[in-house]
Amino acid sequence: MIVEYEDKYLEDVKDLLVELEEYILTIDEDHLDQLHPDYRDKMTEKALQEVKEHEGKCFLYVEKNHAIGAIIGTIRQYDAYDYLDYTCPKAGVINELIVSKNIRGKRIGQQLMAKMESYFAEKECKYIFIDVFAYNNNAIKFYDKQGYHNRMHTVVKKIKTEEE
């Protein structure tokens, strides 16, 4: 069952965010990500604060009184420079989508996406943006199946130093 975030699920949300970051660490071929000791509390606090400040929502998939999936989305904010080279349509942003690894493959991610897409439609958003880690092939395939397409690429190169 999908519900809107309530504080009673705070620890579950923290666990889900840590689970996602731990997964990202295993696929990060550049080895730039880390799981800082403060990540669990600070990242959850930051994500929930962004929801409050940017017309967002956090929806949870709950089974047996535990959140086993979460989606966090906000309404995109633009600054004065954005308008110089961009039409700036009202847009939603999927900040996080996590389904616990023990329960994947049961359409929970699709249900959470549909719920957030409905919310963004109610708020008259014209687009939804999602930043996906380039090495997260599972997420890329998932979003592709949901009708999303790639608009930007971030390219990176490690600089060789004399010490190496």
Phi and psi angles of residue 130, each rounded to the nearest 5 degrees, phi first: -140, 125
**Domain membership flag for residue 94:** yes
How big is the CA angle at 112 (ends 128 and 155), to the nearest 5 degrees?
Answer: 45
**Domain membership flag for residue 163:** no
pLDDT > 70 fraction of the chain, expressed in percent and rounded: 99
For 108, the domain range is 2-145
**Domain membership flag for residue 112:** yes
**Domain membership flag for residue 154:** no
**Domain membership flag for residue 130:** yes
CA–CA separation, 49 vs 53, rounded Å? 6
pLDDT reading at 102 higher than 90: no
**Domain membership flag for residue 153:** no
Looking at this protein, which amino acid is placed at residue 30?
Answer: D
**Domain membership flag for residue 152:** no
Cα–Cα separations (whole angstroms), residue 35 to 19, 31, 72, 95, 134: 10, 11, 20, 18, 18
pLDDT band at 26 (very low <50, low <70, confident <90, very high): very high
Q: Where are the alpha helices (DSSP H) in 30-69?
A: 39-53
**Domain membership flag for residue 36:** yes
Compute the mean pLDDT over every residue in the chain, rounded to the nearest whole number.
Answer: 94
Which CATH number do you get for residue 22?
Answer: 3.40.630.30
Give the pLDDT confidence of 2-20 residue by residue, as tens digits: 999 999 999 999 999 999 9
- Structurally, the chain folds into a number of domains equal to 1
Give the pLDDT confidence of 76-98 residue by residue, as tens digits: 988 888 888 888 899 999 999 99
